[in-house]
Amino acid sequence: MTEASPKRFRQADIAARAGVSVSTVSRVLANEPGISEDVRRQILKVAEDLGYRVKVPAKSAPQTLALIASNGVTGGLSVFYEGIVEGLRSEAAQQAMPFEIRLVREAKATPEIVREHMESLGAEGLFLVGIDPGDALCGWLEESRTPVILVNGTDHEMRFDGVSPSNFFGAYAATRRLVNAGHRRILHLTGSHRQTILERIRGFEAAIASVGGGEARVIHLPFESNASFEAHAATLAALAEDAGFTAAFCMNDFVAVGVLEAVTEIGLSVPKDFAIVGFDDLPCAEMANPRLATMRVDRVAVGREAIGMMQFRFRHPAAPARHVSHAITPVPGGTLDEGQRA
């Protein structure tokens, strides 16, 4: 009498006992990303109990997660961050870094919610994109020693790595373009609590202070609705109060479009009577009439840089924090006559 051979278990058997789909079992056994660690451990335990031979996978790069600040008005992804996402995705794919993206409102970036997002993916590294972590989140990140990269963000205490456009010097250069064109009374329309935007305000003020007879006025927009609409109304109000201002540097191109619409509406010739410089070189800058003079931020390069910084942080967890600033370049446009010199 021959002895019956032991049953050979299949992935379907593991799925049935673990209470998951066969495709989930297949992904875990192939060591694919995107499965929570709890589910992964459960499936591997069931496979071990059944005597299913699991091939030991080659060591893969740690899973990473990018939490991106959603648009404060629409709740979606802002145009500015689309380029950064492109850079993050393409460089992560090129470097074989497992990578996921999730939108979150900045106010919701608490330790509990961030930890929940990371644990659901089994993520070891975190990108905070357009999010300045609050004190509680900073404390948790430090205590947990989570590798984190601030993308389009800075940490004034230099606890975390970060990459951003050179906001101070970019704003300084943008304002100097107006100064060099002969303007001395210049508005700056802005509106954000973020450190990156505060640096643009400081760059604007420093450029005005660098020349004799300069006068600056900073107008803070509430950003409760459409940025262009708010800038349009604020510009009309500012010029009705004091028509002596002849130029505006705007925190971004959406704001600059609103300023352009306002000054043309009241009959000012652009750039002869009133000059405008935007920031970011968003698609609306090229579509404006005339085309906006602005400052170009290479958002794709910022995203790619962040992936490289995370790889360095994984290899050197004890290295001092670094902040990398990317240059911002001027883009000519019909809202500024740069042939004139003071």
pLDDT in tens, 85-139: 999 999 998 888 999 999 999 889 999 999 999 999 999 999 999 999 999 999 9
**Tokens 């003071």, residue?**
342
Please determine, for residue 77, whether its predicted confidence score (pLDDT) is greater than 90: no
pLDDT confidence band for 50 (50 / 70 / 90):
confident
Instruction: Return mean pLDDT, the chain.
Output: 91
d(CA 37, CA 1): 46
Give the CATH number for residue 150.
Answer: 3.40.50.2300
Q: Taking the CB of residue 163, how many other CB atoms lie within 10 A of it?
A: 26
Q: Check whether residue 186 and residue 268 sit in a common domain.
A: yes
Could you give the angle at which helices 227-241 and 253-265 cross, rounded to 10 degrees?
Answer: 50
- Does 338 map to a domain? no
User: How far, in Å, CA of 261 to CA of 281, rounded?
Assistant: 18
Q: Which of 125, 77, 70 is nearest to 98 (CA)?
A: 125
Same domain, 155 and 230: no
What's the pLDDT score for residue 7?
A: 63
Is residue 335 one of the residues assigned to a domain? no
Whether residue 334 is contained in a domain is answered as: no
CATH number for position 31: 1.10.260.40
CA distances from 93 to 86, 87, 90, 98, 112 (A): 11, 10, 5, 8, 29
Residues 275 and 212 in one domain: yes
Q: How much is the pLDDT for 72?
A: 60
340 in a structural domain: no
Please check whether residue 300 is in contact with residue 87, taking contact to mean a CB–CB distance below 8 angstroms.
yes
In a domain, 216, yes or no: yes
Q: What is the DSSP string of 107-144?
A: GG--HHHHHHHHHHHT--EEEEES----HHHHHHHHHH
Structural domain count, the chain: 3
End-of-domain residue from the set 45, 60, 75: 60
Assigned domain for 15 exists: yes
Instruction: Examine the domain organization and report whether 315 and 282 are in the same domain.
Output: no
Residues 222 and 275 in one domain: yes
What pLDDT score does 78 carry?
87
Residue 282, exposed/middle/buried by CB under 10 A (0-12, 13-18, 19+)? buried
CA-based nearest residue to 279, from 182, 166, 122: 166
Residue 170 has pLDDT above 80, yes or no: yes
CB of 235 closer than 8 Å to CB of 249:
no
Reduce the DSSP state of residue 65 to 3 states and report it. strand
Q: For 18-42, what is the mean pLDDT?
A: 80
**Residue-wise pLDDT tens digits, 234-248:** 999 999 999 999 999
| CA Rg value for the chain | 26
Q: Which pairs from 71-77 meet CB under 8 Å and 24+ separation? A: 72/105, 72/223, 73/223, 73/224, 73/225, 73/226, 75/103, 75/105, 76/103, 77/103
| Domain end (from 42, 60, 78) | 60
The answer to whether position 221 is within a domain reads yes
Task: Find tokens 């089994």 and name the residue.
Answer: 122
pLDDT the model gives residue 142: 95
- Per DSSP, 270 falls in state T
Residue 309 pLDDT > 60:
yes
Do 153 and 49 lie in one domain? The reply is: no
Judge contact between 298 and 126, C-beta under 8 A: no
Q: Are residues 275 and 184 in the same domain?
A: yes
User: Which of these three, 44, 60, 76, is where a domain ends?
Assistant: 60
Question: Is residue 184 located within the same domain as residue 283?
Answer: yes
Domain that holds residue 219: 167-297
Task: For residue range 179-210, list pLDDT tens digits in order.
Answer: 999 999 999 999 988 889 999 999 999 999 99
Query: Which amino acid type is present at position 112?
Result: E
Backbone angles phi, psi at 241, to 5 degrees: -75, -40
- 142 and 120 in a single domain? The answer is yes
The percent of residues above 70 in pLDDT, for the chain, comes to 92
Residues 72 and 8 both lie in one domain: no
Contact criterion met (CB below 8 Å) for 284 and 253: yes
Indicate if 176 and 263 belong to the same structural domain. Answer: yes
Same domain, 304 and 197: no
Please determine, for residue 231, whether its predicted confidence score (pLDDT) is greater than 50: yes
Residue 104 belongs to some domain of the structure:
yes
Asked whether the predicted pLDDT for residue 312 surpasses 80, the reply is yes
